[in-house]
């Protein structure tokens, strides 16, 4: 069983919970996911099965899209509602929609983020959340991410609680912490903030309407003994493809290089196929192409 499942991850489950259940449903250990989703986040989580696990890095490289909600007026330890409230500042009057949209526009393009303490980033061999749970703080590595779009969908003001909610949509590169982006937006507006809801709409080239829930997958396997899988090639569908002849395939099978003149189009990376089957990704190095990732050598 080789291929990709666009899973709908429900809230309340970790990404590993999903993997563990899929291993039981599909009776295979070779299952991998393309980037974690926090337990309180739902949405698209592409899952690679069997040989397709070799293509996870290409699934992860694609852009992602989210819909979320920021609550302005309070902050938590985790930057979402799972944490303890550590700061509050009442919003006495509604913040103008135009002001929010202006600050969001300023946060597009390439930006620098500092990962939250409650995250899986490793520092000196330990996850940041391990330091956080132990009450320790460490210097966190900055990272460059790209925000393609940061769009205001709606905003509402709660007079009783003196908080303001901002519904947004964001399209971004891999490695982006959307809760940090939301909290930073609140800071630009002069207030503490917390991400109060988040759904991943797109990842790995899959959209929400393509997803299957764990129950859907269980029902399919119970009814027919199988589940509909997208082919491994879906992970690299946006890269140019090169069909090999028998002689070239003989060389590629053994990890051989391809001459630059043999590759059309001459792009930094090409997917090589033989008899319609995706075999590998080759990368351009000086005047030749050499293997970056082998999927199949038979």
Active-site residue numbers? 38
Q: For residue 32, what are the β-bridge partners?
A: 48
Those residues whose C-beta lies under 8 Å from the C-beta of residue 30, and which sit 6 or more positions away, are 49, 50, 51, 53
* First vs last C-alpha separation in the chain: 16
Determine the Cα–Cα distance for residues 165 and 151; give it in Å rounded to an integer.
Answer: 14
Nearest alpha carbon to residue 100 among 26, 191, 234: 191
Tell me the CB-side half-sphere exposure of residue 70, using CA atoms within 13 A.
30
Those residues whose C-beta lies under 8 Å from the C-beta of residue 297, and which sit 6 or more positions away, are 252, 253, 254, 255, 279
Residue 273 token pair = 């196929």
R_g over Cα of the chain: 22
To 10 degrees, what angle do helices 15-26 and 214-224 make?
A: 0
Nearest alpha carbon to residue 289 among 242, 232, 233, 237: 242
Token pair 């990732």 in the structure block, residue: 293
- Which value, to the nearest 10 degrees, does the dihedral of the CA atoms of residues 46, 51, 56, 59 take? -60
3-class state of residue 226 by DSSP? coil
């Amino acid at each position: 069983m080789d291929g990709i499942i666009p899973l709908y991850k429900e809230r309340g489950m970790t990404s590993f919970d999903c993997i563990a259940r899929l291993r039981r449903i599909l009776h295979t250990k070779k299952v991998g996911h393309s980037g974690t989703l926090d337990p309180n986040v739902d949405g698209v989580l592409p899952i690679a099965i069997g040989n397709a696990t070799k293509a996870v890095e290409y699934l992860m490289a694609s852009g992602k899209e989210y819909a979320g909600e920021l609550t302005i007026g309070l902050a938590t330890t985790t930057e979402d509602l799972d944490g303890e409230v550590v700061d509050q500042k009442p919003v006495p009057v509604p913040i103008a929609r135009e002001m929010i949209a202006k600050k969001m526009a300023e946060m597009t393009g390439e930006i620098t983020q500092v990962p939250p303490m409650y995250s899986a980033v490793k520092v000196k061999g330990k996850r940041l959340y391990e330091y956080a749970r132990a009450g320790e703080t460490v210097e966190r590595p900055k990272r460059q991410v790209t925000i393609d779009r940061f769009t205001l969908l709606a905003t509402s003001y709660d007079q009783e609680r003196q908080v303001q909610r901002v519904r947004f949509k964001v399209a971004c590169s891999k490695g982006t912490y959307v809760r940090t982006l939301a909290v930073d937006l609140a800071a630009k507006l002069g207030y503490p903030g917390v991400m109060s809801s988040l759904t991943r709409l797109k990842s790995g080239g899959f959209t929400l309407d393509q997803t299957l829930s764990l129950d859907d997958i269980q029902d399919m396997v119970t009814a027919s003994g199988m589940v509909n899988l997208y082919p491994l090639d879906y992970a690299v569908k946006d890269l140019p493809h090169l069909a090999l002849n028998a002689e070239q395939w003989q060389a590629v099978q053994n990890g051989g290089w391809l001459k630059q003149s043999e590759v059309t189009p001459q792009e930094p990376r090409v997917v090589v196929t033989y008899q319609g089957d995706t075999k590998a990704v080759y990368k351009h190095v000086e005047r030749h192409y050499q293997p970056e990732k082998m999927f199949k050598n038979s």
